[in-house]
Structure 1
Amino acid sequence: MSVIFADILKEDVAGDYRAYVYPLKAAYPYLSDDEWQLLLNQISTESNLLISKGNTSHWDLDESSRQALARGELIINQLYDRDEMAVFARISDTEVIRLSALQVEEPIYLGIFLIQFGVPLGLVALFALGVMLWQQYRLNKLEQTSLQFAQGELNARVPIGWLAVGKINQSFNFMAEKLERMFNSQKHMITAVSHELKTPLFRLQMQLNLIQDEPHSEQTGDYLTQMHLDIEEMDTLVGELLSFSKMERQDRFNDLIQTDVSHWLTYQVKQLARHCHHPIELVLTSKDLSPETLMQAIQTKQLKRALDNLVFNADRFAQNKIRISLFMQENQLCLSVEDDGIGIAEIDRGRIFEPFSRIDSDRNRDTGGFGLGLAIVKEIVRCHGASISVTKSELGGACFMISFET
């Protein structure tokens, strides 16, 4: 590219100098040697051109330049010389003049250098940067979709075609579709089985009631009572399965009501205190709670269910007391339930909200639970657009905290 540019520039310079050469060539035959020399000296003195005369042998020119002069062409030498730029022109068979411009300033050479080398390199660098940024953009799209999928948005897919990163996007979508079908099939199966179990459980319950009305021995009565308890437990499990399945299919509650959480919580704690074995301490950090912050869009029935579950869990494992707090933290309205029990090991906190997850192997009917309670709590909180976490309480036990965006 620089060679092409140099040829074009030389031709442009030659065109400029022809404006001086043609008049001189026309005047030469009519001037004596003294007049000719006087004219050249006058031009050199009063203009930017330094003109000297000679013949082809006088100047240090190569054979190709001599031949070009013989054809009447202009010869441009030392175009990029730091001192001067010279143009040779044939005036007659024996006369050759040399026109030299004044010294070319450094910025001109710098500009020529930048045009020849800087522009092409800049374009290459710009293209490389564009390719890199485009690749980064496509990788970011893949990363964002991966995070959405990991957070439970099973219908999230990455773009294909010109936004794809090789075959990675296609492979990701294939994997995501298989996982989504598998999870949906599992959910539908749980829902279907739960619905189907409702009817035989109800029939068994009715038949047991009829049998109990008939005369029977005391031992038979004990068996019937135990069967009633087992059927009630199965019925509770089916009910929780249906609730969990319904929550999972829901993105967000559509019947949220603006409620003062402080007043709502105070009333709920009074009701819960009647059914708990341990006293409940309610802590409202009033200095951080403004009326606007306390007004939250909640589904009161479902949030009560989540709070009941957390409080009754705390009551089962507390030693002396339960603490319920409402406070602001990092621009979020937080509701926490704490106990002074044995707490939850850090290694178990990541799976405590998974369905059918149990971290205490000695649970039975007396300590309660099927491992669905906290999973349902998590889904209720999610349907409020909030989040829930578990940490170690200052009391020594577990601290479950629900965080609402304000």
Structure 2
Amino acid sequence: MRRLFVHFYIFIILAVIGLGWSLEHILREEEPSMPVWMPPFASLLSAQVPHMSHPNQLAEQLNETVIAMPLSAVAWPEPELQRLATGEAIALFNSRQQIYFYLLAQHQPEAELWRIGPIGQPVDKPTYWYHLLAFALLILLATLWVWPLARDLLKIERHLGKLPQQTQQPLRLPKRSMVSSLADSMNAMRKQIQHLLGLQRELTRAVSHDLRTPLTRMKFTLALLTEKKHQDALSADVIEMEQMVETLLDYAKLEGQEKLLQRSKVNMNELCVNLVDKLNSMPGPQVQLHMSGYISCLCDGHYIERALQNLIQNARVFANEKVDVWVIKKKNHVIMHVDDDGPGIAEDDHAYILQPFVRLDPSREKAHGGQGLGLTIVARIAEWHQADLSIHTSPLGGARFTFTLPA
């Protein structure tokens, strides 16, 4: 960042100096050409002034303005002072290309300077294009400075959009780039993130794989048991561990699946009716579906069905008697509410419950075979679809999970 500031300040200094020097040369007026009548007129003035005692006499004769002023009123160089001392008339142009003649009247008690003029029509040059030129040059210089910076920042933005991809090459920027240090830091961060993601996947797969070995031994021991009481207890543990392994493997497979989404126009009426019928055929509280009219949505139907299934199954686990599912179409969104009449969820636990392996009531959820990953999977699917998952208090008294999906 320090390098960027230094580069910016140097650019400002050089731009101001360069523009000032350039415009000074561009706007510098060319020396106007001397009219052919000027030398004879100057000679005439030099000859007549010594015979006049007052400027008004010369003004009446020439029909021009003549005023007297001290010699010190003009900062004359030494050569011009010598020319004035010899009685020579000196001609000067003003900014409007009018001519003034200066002579030294030495016959006065004190030598005074007479100025004749201005002579000639004033010439007004338009100056607005000078300002336009200054603005245009400043914009051009600023563009030349900003363009490489904007180009490199765009490269970084595109690179960040592809950060999760393992096959991505490190971002390479020229060493002279003002944000090369930012690119280096981003590459280091990318390596660390990918390393951590790899460790997470390897850990999940290793744990799931290693759990299969004791499961196999437990199944073998279960087959050798003869007492019904021990057999039932061990069978329940085996089923729970199998469900845990399958859930862990399922969660691990979700990593990197976002790019495999197959979006299409999905009939939400058909999807919800089939899902509710399937779940109502299983033991547990019955699910009531509420929806009206035809509702469709552009999404991946497989993952949306899975998210809704996880929400309904979670509601059935904690519901006392009733689970309601509402599917509503509002403008450009499809809103799905899943309500239950269970104990509900404290507001402080709303964000916490969406994290992996979180169970607010482990003893109760263990009895229903939960592993604390169902809502995490729903949150991941919502993230893939740029949807919103929120938790509120249900009108039934329990928890309400709201899945808002862009239509």
Range with greater deviation from structure 2 (161-170 or 336-345): 161-170
Residue equivalent to 1:190: 204
C-alpha displacement of 1:145: 8.3
The amino acid that maps onto 1:184 is G
Residue equivalent to 1:299: 301
**1:251 matches 2:258:** yes
Residue 268 of structure 1 aligns to a residue in which SS?
helix
C-alpha displacement of 1:250: 1.0
- 5 Å-filtered alignment, 1:180-329, equals 180-198=194-212, 201-202=215-216, 204-205=218-219, 207-208=220-221, 210-212=223-225, 216=226, 218=227, 221-256=228-263, 258-275=265-282, 277-286=284-293, 291=294, 294-300=296-302, 302-329=303-330
C-alpha displacement of 1:136: 9.7
After superposition, what is the alpha-carbon deviation per residue over 1:152-177, rounded to whole angstroms, capped at 9, x for unaligned?
A: 78979888556655845533442342
1:75–1:140 Cα change, 3 Å: farther
Residue equivalent to 2:379: 378
Q: How many residues were matched structurally? A: 375
- 5 Å-filtered alignment, 1:60-209, equals 61=73, 64-65=76-77, 67-68=79-80, 70=82, 76=92, 87-88=100-101, 98-101=115-118, 165=179, 167-198=181-212, 201-202=215-216, 204-205=218-219, 207-208=220-221
Give the Cα separation in 2 of the matches to 1:137 and 1:44.
69
C-alpha displacement of 1:261: 0.7
Give the Cα separation in 2 of the matches to 1:158 and 1:306.
36
Give the Cα separation in 2 of the matches to 1:364 and 1:31.
122
Give the Cα separation in 1 of the matches to 2:372 and 2:222.
29
C-alpha displacement of 1:22: 3.2
Residue 363 of structure 2 aligns to a residue in which SS?
coil
1:401–1:25 Cα change, 3 Å: same
After superposition, what is the alpha-carbon deviation per residue over 1:199-257, rounded to whole angstroms, capped at 9, x for unaligned?
A: 5534542x235414xxx4x3xx4333322322222221111111111112212444555
After superposition, what is the alpha-carbon deviation per residue over 1:349-395, rounded to whole angstroms, capped at 9, x for unaligned?
A: 21322211122243353133111111222334444554433233333
1:99–1:19 Cα change, 3 Å: farther
Give the Cα separation in 2 of the matches to 1:86 and 1:363.
106
- 5 Å-filtered alignment, 1:40-79, equals 50=64, 52=66, 61=73, 64-65=76-77, 67-68=79-80, 70=82, 76=92
After superposition, what is the alpha-carbon deviation per residue over 1:79-107, rounded to whole angstroms, capped at 9, x for unaligned?
A: 69xxx97733579x99x9744338999xx
Residue 289 of structure 2 aligns to a residue in which SS?
strand
Residue equivalent to 1:22: 39
1:276–1:315 contact (8 Å) kept in structure 2: no
After superposition, what is the alpha-carbon deviation per residue over 1:99-120, rounded to whole angstroms, capped at 9, x for unaligned?
A: 4338999xx79959x969x987
C-alpha displacement of 1:181: 0.8
1:244–1:379 contact (8 Å) kept in structure 2: no
- CA RMSD for the aligned pairs? 5.5
C-alpha displacement of 1:344: 1.8
1:126–1:396 Cα change, 3 Å: farther
The amino acid that maps onto 1:67 is P
TM-score scaled by length of structure 1: 0.68
Give the Cα separation in 1 of the matches to 2:262 and 2:196.
30
Range with greater deviation from structure 2 (346-355 or 64-73): 64-73
Give the Cα separation in 1 of the matches to 2:399 and 2:250.
25
1:22–1:188 Cα change, 3 Å: farther
1:148–1:156 contact (8 Å) kept in structure 2: no
C-alpha displacement of 1:131: 7.6
1:10–1:76 contact (8 Å) kept in structure 2: no
1:69–1:90 contact (8 Å) kept in structure 2: no
Residue 374 of structure 1 aligns to a residue in which SS?
helix
Residue 249 of structure 1 aligns to a residue in which SS?
coil
